[in-house]
């Protein structure tokens, strides 16, 4: 057991870090104003239907309308054996939906009619009567054992369940307790939905602390350490109900700074770096854009007495493992393109792809890989559900507005001379102030003759004023 869960609670945020042998494997952040709505169930009202894109906008009581695929409603309707009337979807219709994807940019949350309430070992599917087993449980004997347990349990026949990976090896009593708890949650949500008008919230998903305990506090975790006494007691109550055998592994931290003491803070800061260096001195460049994520592999300072093909293969194998780790750590999703160093041998390309797939198998998020091209480019998708840590922690730079670059002092100095001429053509003055960032002012001073020529041409005296508080790209002209 070489895994630890650290939870830091402050007045403005909650953070959870999962470490394996001291290395940060997963990191989650939640703030009151940015609390996730994924998993919440709402009673919504259809606001608009767009047949051209096969979707509908649903008012669920939030600033942005939820987007629902019409096929979701049709699938649900078709699965209802009692339904006899023809399907009709209309504006103003009330509908029960669950948020499956967070809002991104200008897009509202993605919602679905296929509702699932997650427990420790099971996911309750109220509209589905099937029993499904997680694909990650690969052992056929264990799969048969779990199915047999569900045949023996006396559970309502009008709901279905998905057996989670955490259920592997659990007893009939443990699974029954989880199932009964989830059924009670759904019964309460149903009562609320019947009582309240749309739009309204009928079921709220756990916050970060309890989600982490439910989803990540598994048998291979040696310790769960938390630095908040109220949250410590809250976790103990939760654990005593569902994970009594793990209660001895929950610890309350009495020190000053949990993350600093465990050397986690430095690792968290690296999440926001563009360059990630590997042990071989090669590095990755990670650039998330609005449409996709690009990861570029560079050999950097890699030096070994082997031929170019072998060197590229070694670096790419190391980079594949790190790329998978960074995707999980940063929770990057959508379309992802990884540009590996070119390799001539087909066998090397296949092996790098296999290394990447194997590294991704530990990821809880769903992924799909198209393959690797002869140029070493891998195209893949990764499930994106929550806003990334970077989105929650950073805003657009007020200087560059997201470009990631600012004009050089020389470029701004040339622009300043142009604006100066333009100003003097429209305004006849005898004296004016040209205020610039000191670096830009220095560039103009290097070419003082250009400023004198303008003074002579327009018969004006120009006072050059350096101002260190001024943005590098700002040119201020005043008379």
Question: What was the pLDDT predicted at 86?
Answer: 52
Pair of tokens at residue 361 = 């198998």
Question: What was the pLDDT predicted at 79?
Answer: 56
Pair of tokens at residue 380 = 């893949």
> Helix, strand, or coil here: 10?
coil
Question: What was the pLDDT predicted at 237?
Answer: 92
Q: What is the pLDDT along the chain (479 residues), one digit of tens a residue?
A: 589 999 999 988 999 999 999 899 999 998 887 788 899 999 999 999 988 888 999 999 988 999 999 888 776 666 554 444 555 678 888 999 999 988 877 788 999 999 999 998 999 999 888 888 988 888 899 999 999 998 888 888 888 999 998 888 888 988 998 899 999 999 999 999 999 998 999 999 999 999 999 888 988 899 999 999 999 999 999 998 888 888 899 999 999 899 999 999 989 988 888 899 999 889 999 998 777 899 999 988 777 777 888 889 999 999 999 999 999 988 888 899 999 999 989 999 999 999 999 999 888 888 999 889 888 899 999 987 677 777 767 777 777 777 778 889 999 999 999 999 999 998 889 999 999 999 999 999 988 888 889 999 999 999 999 999 998 999 999 98
Question: What was the pLDDT predicted at 1?
Answer: 58
Phi, psi of 163 (to 5 degrees): -85, 120
Question: What was the pLDDT predicted at 80?
Answer: 55
Residue 38's alpha-carbon distances to 20, 117, 257, 386, 403, in angstroms, are 27, 11, 30, 7, 30
Question: What was the pLDDT predicted at 103?
Answer: 85
Question: What was the pLDDT predicted at 76?
Answer: 67
pTM of the entire predicted model: 0.78
Pseudo-torsion of CA 36, 41, 43, 48, nearest 10°?
A: 60
Do the beta carbons of residue 73 and residue 95 sit within 8 Å?
Answer: yes
As a whole number of angstroms, the distance between CA 142 and CA 155 comes to 21
Pair of tokens at residue 350 = 């296949």
Question: What was the pLDDT predicted at 384?
Answer: 77
């Amino acid at each position: 057991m070489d895994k630890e869960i650290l939870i830091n609670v402050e007045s403005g945020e909650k953070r959870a870090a999962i470490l394996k042998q001291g290395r940060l494997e997963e990191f989650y952040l939640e703030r009151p104003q940015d609390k996730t709505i994924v998993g919440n169930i709402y009673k919504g009202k259809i606001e608009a239907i767009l047949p051209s894109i096969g979707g509908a906008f649903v008012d669920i009581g939030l600033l942005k309308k939820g987007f629902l695929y019409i096929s979701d409603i049709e699938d649900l309707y078709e699965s209802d054996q009692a339904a006899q009337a023809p399907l009709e979807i209309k504006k103003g219709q009330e509908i029960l939906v669950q948020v499956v994807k967070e809002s991104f940019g200008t897009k509202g949350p993605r919602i679905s009619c296929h509702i699932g309430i997650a427990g420790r070992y099971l996911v309750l599917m109220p509209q589905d009567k099937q029993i499904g087993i997680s694909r990650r449980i690969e052992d056929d004997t264990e799969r048969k054992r779990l199915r047999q347990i569900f045949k023996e349990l006396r559970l309502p026949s009008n709901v279905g369940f998905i057996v989670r990976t955490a259920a592997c090896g659990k007893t009939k009593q443990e699974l029954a307790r989880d199932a009964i708890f989830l059924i009670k949650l759904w019964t309460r949500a149903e009562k609320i939905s019947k009582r309240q008008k749309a739009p309204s919230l009928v079921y709220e998903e756990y916050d970060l602390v309890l989600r982490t305990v439910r989803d990540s506090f598994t048998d291979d975790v040696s310790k769960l350490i938390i630095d908040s006494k109220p949250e410590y007691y809250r976790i103990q109550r939760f654990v005593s109900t569902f994970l009594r055998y793990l209660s001895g592994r929950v610890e309350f931290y009495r020190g000053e700074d949990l993350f600093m003491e465990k050397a986690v803070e430095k690792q968290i800061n690296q999440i926001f770096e563009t360059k990630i260096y590997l042990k071989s001195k090669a590095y990755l460049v990670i650039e998330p854009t609005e449409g996709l994520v690009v990861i570029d592999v560079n050999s950097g300072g890699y030096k070994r007495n082997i031929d170019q093909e072998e060197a590229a293969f070694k670096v790419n194998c190391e980079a594949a493992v790190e790329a998978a780790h960074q995707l999980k750590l940063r929770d990057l999703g959508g379309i992802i393109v990884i540009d590996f160093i070119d390799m001539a041998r087909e066998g090397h390309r296949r092996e790098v792809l296999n290394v990447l797939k194997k590294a991704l198998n530990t990821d809880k998020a769903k992924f799909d890989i198209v393959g690797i091209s002869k140029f070493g480019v891998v195209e893949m998708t990764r499930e994106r559900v929550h806003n990334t840590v970077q989105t929650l922690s950073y805003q657009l730079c007020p200087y560059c507005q997201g470009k990631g670059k600012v004009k050089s002092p020389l470029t701004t100095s040339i622009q300043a001379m142009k604006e100066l001429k333009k100003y003097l053509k429209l305004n006849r003055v005898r004296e004016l102030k040209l205020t610039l960032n000191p670096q830009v002012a220095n560039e103009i001073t290097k070419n003082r003759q250009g400023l004198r020529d303008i003074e002579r041409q327009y018969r004006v005296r120009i006072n050059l004023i350096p101002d260190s508080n001024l943005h590098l790209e700002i040119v201020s002209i005043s008379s």
